Amino acid sequence: MERVVDRENMRQAYRRVLRNRGAAGVDGMSIEALGTWLKAHWPHVRKALLEGRYLPQAVRRVDIPKPDGGVRTLGVPTVMDRLIQQALHQVLQPIFEPMFSASSFGFRPGRGAHDAVRQAHAYVQGGRHWVVDLDLEKFFDRVNHDVLMARVARQVQDLRVLKLIRRFLEAGVMADGLVRARTEGTPQGGPLSPLLSNILLTDLDRHLEARGLAFCRYADDCNIYVSSQRAGERVMASTRAYLEKALRLVVNEAKSKVAKPGTRKFLGYRIATRLEEAHIGIAPQSIERLMQRVRELMRQGRGQSLAHTIQRLNPLLRGWANYFSLSVQHKRMRNLDGWLRRRLRCLLWRQWKRPRTCERHLLAQGLDPERAWRSSVNGRGPWWNAGASHMQQAFPNAWFQRLGLVSIHETVVRLQRIH
């Protein structure tokens, strides 16, 4: 605990919490107000931590819709509790990090989703053409506190730290002004939860390694790669039994499956084999999710200038392209670029509304008067016109490039050349 409340450790934690921003907790204190509050109250908080008396406040419940249905429940701690969790994380992570598996990639320094996908690709390329896709049912809501704390206590002997972690786990959840006690689960939303999830699931990693299995785990998302369906069924059954008995976790039967990797989604990607070659592609659900988000932004941009809409789209497109830069589906990404430009042309046509306005804009873009007039009165809808040759001639790809529209395909190609 002395290392947790060390001045330099707390200073680093404070800077990290400020950088991460985030909403206020149940006490309503903002990130901006934290510094002033600490100047007056930190000595009392520090004393309470050192004496093992500090009591975290309840977390504020926030439900986030999942892309595949349902909701993900986040627990937003107060900024003070986030600061203490971050300080704990900075002391605990170097202790546990050397003990984590080389096949664990989530929430670890120097590792990420791309590393996990590359490792999965190597397994499939090496001949493991079946995957045991494990989905843990409501993992963060179902973590057993006693099982988790027993694993933390293997490396942490300071009872003050152990008591504080358990208090964070047991802090109530506030929703609609009422606080509900919690007897299981580690709420997503605090800096400590990802580390605690890795501490607990390291036992699963060691179990799989002892059996000589090839696997990739990113937080609670675990894929095991095997050479046959029969082997996959055996691994699924034995791993399910281990999780339920040793870690008291439940496998979601509906979402878990033994299948070909090309039919399953792993971290938004899918790995398909073609002529004995494994290829990294983008899962259809990831593409549909992007298209749905673009549609939402387009609807919001109907009353805005096209330049403003593009400005709002670009961070989404750039982030998506960066994340999926491992994909070799160049034709699919070119098609996405084309679809996006058509959506923007459609937005223009909708904004013009009347044939005379359409004609005026087409003339301004260099179409001859006869063609501009015929195109404006063709009686077709905005989507048809957006894909027609008159709109493509008036607003070619280069026109959108001059407006600064991010190209998904060009971004991915550039990143792949760098790497």
* Per-residue pLDDT tens digits for 321-338: 999 999 999 999 999 999
| Average pLDDT value for the chain | 91
Phi first, then psi, for residue 251 (nearest 5°) are -85, 130
Of 244, 246, 223, 247, nearest in space to 235 by CA? 223
Structure tokens given for 37: 């509050």
pLDDT value for 118: 96
Kindly write down the DSSP assignment for every residue of 318-367, as one continuous string: HHHHHHTTT---HHHHHHHHHHHHHHHHHHHHHHH-SHHHHHHHHHHTT-
Lowest-pLDDT range of 68-72, 267-271, 307-311:
68-72
Of 247, 17, 55, nearest in space to 168 by CA? 55
Residues 6+ away with beta carbon under 8 Å from 364: none
* Per-residue pLDDT tens digits for 138-156: 888 788 999 999 999 999 9
Phi first, then psi, for residue 265 (nearest 5°) are -105, 130
pLDDT value for 304: 84
Look at residue 174 and tell me whether its pLDDT is greater than 90.
no
Look at residue 70 and tell me whether its pLDDT is greater than 70.
no
Q: How many CA atoms lie within 13 A of 46 on its CB side?
A: 14
Entry pTM: 0.89
Q: Is the dihedral of CA 304, 308, 312, 314 positive or negative?
A: positive
Lowest-pLDDT range of 100-109, 302-311, 354-363:
302-311
